[in-house]
Structure 1
Amino acid sequence: MKKLLQGVLGYGIGSIFILMIVSAGVLAILLRFTGMEYQTLNQFALVAGISILAFGGMLAAYKGEQKGWLSGGMTGLIFVSAMVLFQIIFENSWVTLPQLSYFGGLVLAAWLGGMIGVNLPRKTAKR
């Protein structure tokens, strides 16, 4: 259980937050210095978010070494809960139906990433 929580909270959520900050910076630079339209940027953000959540779930399950579906699901739910909480606190608005479907897709991506991550081959030390 300790490895599972360490994988989810340490590696999964940590990597997601770092990668989300980096991708937000890259998207902001693209928006500022290119002629990219807002709709195209929105699609890039969607793909980046889903990919990052899948990677975070995969890393959490790989490091947790057990129950990949649980590691990925917990990673996705914790991240989405934080996003909803920030929206309620800072924007003073509730979650809309389109956002709910987006959040569901993020949790699903992390869940699937967790199932993949637990099955990745591990490095073994040669003796």
Structure 2
Amino acid sequence: MKKMMQGVLGYGIGSIFILMIVFSGVLAGLLKLTDMEYGTLNQLALIVGISILAFGGGAAAYKGEQKGWLAGVLTGAVFVGAMALFQIIFENTMVTLPQLSYFGGLVLAAWLGGMIGVNLPKKTAKR
């Protein structure tokens, strides 16, 4: 269980936050430097967000080495919980029903990523 939690909190959440920061900059640059519309940007942000959560769930499960579905769900739930908490604290607004469906999709993506990540082949050192 300790190894799984290290995978979730260290590799899963860490990689999600790093990739979110990087891709936020990329999407902001696309919006600033191109004539991309907000509707297109929203669709692109949705695809990127789901992909990043799937990657984070996969990374957590790969490092946890067991129960990939649980590592993925925990990774998604911690990330979604942090986002909801930030919204409540900093924006002083509650989570709406459309946001709950979006958050559910993110947890589902992390869950699927975890199931894939636990089944990836492990590197072995050749002696």
Measured against the shorter chain, the TM-score band is: over 0.9
Kindly indicate whether residue 17 of structure 2 is the aligned counterpart of residue 22 of structure 1.
Answer: no
Kindly indicate whether residue 116 of structure 2 is the aligned counterpart of residue 85 of structure 1.
Answer: no
Kindly indicate whether residue 90 of structure 2 is the aligned counterpart of residue 112 of structure 1.
Answer: no
Could you say which residue in structure 2 is the equivalent of 1:76? Answer: 76
Displacement of 1:126 after TM fit?
2.4
**How far apart, CA to CA, are the structure 2 residues paired with 1:81 and 1:73?**
12
Gaps of 5+ in 2: none
Aligned-partner SS, 1:124: coil
Kindly indicate whether residue 7 of structure 2 is the aligned counterpart of residue 7 of structure 1.
Answer: yes
Could you say which residue in structure 2 is the equivalent of 1:60? Answer: 60
Aligned-partner SS, 1:121: coil
**How far apart, CA to CA, are the structure 2 residues paired with 1:84 and 1:2?**
26
Aligned-partner SS, 2:66: coil
Displacement of 1:3 after TM fit?
0.8
Could you say which residue in structure 2 is the equivalent of 1:41? Answer: 41
- Taking only aligned residues, the RMSD between alpha carbons, in angstroms, comes to 0.6
**How far apart, CA to CA, are the structure 2 residues paired with 1:49 and 1:122?**
26
Could you say which residue in structure 1 is the equivalent of 2:94? Answer: 94
Which digits, 9 at most, give the CA deviation of each residue in 1:38-59, with x for residues without a partner?
0000000000000000000000
Q: Which runs of 4+ in 1 moved over 3 A?
A: none
Displacement of 1:4 after TM fit?
0.3
Percentage of matched positions with identical amino acids = 81
Give the structure-1-normalised TM-score. Answer: 0.98
Displacement of 1:75 after TM fit?
0.1
Give the structure-2-normalised TM-score. Answer: 0.98
* Equivalent residues, number: 127
Gaps of 5+ in 1: none
